[in-house]
Amino acid sequence: MSRRQEIAVGVADVRRRIEAGCTAVGRDPATVTLVAVAKTFPTMDIRILADLGVTEIGENRDQEARAKAAELADLALRWHFVGRLQRNKSRSVARYAAVVHSLDRPELVSGLDAAAGAAGRRVTGLVQVALADAAGRGGVPPAGVLALAGRVAAAEHLELGGVMAVAPLGADPGPAFARLADSAAEVRAAHPDAVIISAGMSSDLEAALAHGATHVRVGSAVFGVRPDSLR
Ligand SMILES: *Cc1c(COP(=O)(O)O)cnc(C)c1O
């Protein structure tokens, strides 16, 4: 099978899963955005994806994302930064990212805001929510989500998009995604336009869709197993 065929099969399979996952809970699949997480995969794979109509691309490391965004500047892609972000990378990330999924502390919000202003861009920011047992995976505890969301909403060059989470490893993701849905509702009550719920990966996207995910971040189910499977 050619690489193009492999990726086409992966995309079709993920699209089928999104459709089935939505149908199972009475949702419209058209309300769900597939963000293809391309970390460790080459730019040629992203060109193939774009040709297949998938243009929302996720990355988790600035150095890699920045290089790929530059190399693929001829394509109309939207870059999603989904990894842990250090404040000193904000300047770089603000130049290419349309959406940053991992805002989890005030200094990151102010750093990204200043960087977006310097780049002359508006960047959508999601508040990453820490779910139980997901220690070390980033995020603000649920009790702090609304306050941080308020900072994003008030930032001059940022748009508050909503919330994001990574499910705890090795546990039933359902209860965790249910807590994320609660945080999302709390944020939406104060900021009605902040409708994004970024949740669900290759292994748990159905559970995320059942709890309202609007953006699923899928890597290996689209591209195949990563050489470095910890990322
Ligand atoms: C790698 C990654 C994904 C995609 O993971 P898969 O299991 O390959 O689908 C999603 N979200 C984040 C934050 C990631 O780092």
CB 91 within 8 A of CB 115: yes
Question: How far, in Å, is the centroid of ligand 1 from the Cα of 84?
Answer: 12
- The pocket around ligand 1, CB under 6 angstroms, is made up of 37, 39, 60, 82-83, 166, 201-203, 217-221, 231
What's the pLDDT at 229?
Answer: 62
CB 121 within 8 A of CB 94: yes
At a CB cut-off of 8 Å and minimum separation 6, what does 117 contact?
Answer: 156, 157
Q: What CA–CA distance (Å, rounded) separates 63 from 132?
A: 30
What's the pLDDT at 231?
Answer: 63
Q: Indicate the residue type of 184.
A: A
| Helix extents (H) in 31-78 | 43-51, 62-71
At a CB cut-off of 8 Å and minimum separation 6, what does 5 contact?
Answer: none
Q: What CA–CA distance (Å, rounded) separates 201 from 206?
A: 9
Question: Which atom belonging to ligand 1 lies closest to the Cα atom of 164?
Answer: 13
Q: Which residue's alpha carbon is at the smallest distance from atom 10 of ligand 1?
A: 217
Q: How far is CA 208 from the centre of its chain?
A: 13
Residue carrying the six token digits 């502390």: 105
Q: What CA–CA distance (Å, rounded) separates 116 from 124?
A: 10
Tell whether the model's pLDDT for residue 227 goes beyond 80.
no
Tell whether the model's pLDDT for residue 81 goes beyond 60.
yes
Q: How confident is the model at residue 92 (pLDDT cuts 50, 70, 90)?
A: very high
What's the pLDDT at 1?
Answer: 86
Q: Give the tens place of pLDDT for each residue, 30-73.
A: 999 999 999 999 999 999 999 999 999 999 999 999 999 999 99
Q: Give the tens place of pLDDT for each residue, 100-144.
A: 999 999 999 999 999 999 999 999 999 999 987 555 678 999 999
Q: Which residue's alpha carbon is at the smallest distance from atom 6 of ligand 1?
A: 219
pTM exceeding the 0.85 threshold for the entire prediction: yes
CB 163 within 8 A of CB 126: yes
What is the mean predicted confidence (pLDDT) over 164-179? Answer: 93
CB 127 within 8 A of CB 140: yes
What's the pLDDT at 129?
Answer: 97
Question: Which atom belonging to ligand 1 lies closest to the Cα atom of 203?
Answer: 7
Question: What is the chain's length?
Answer: 231
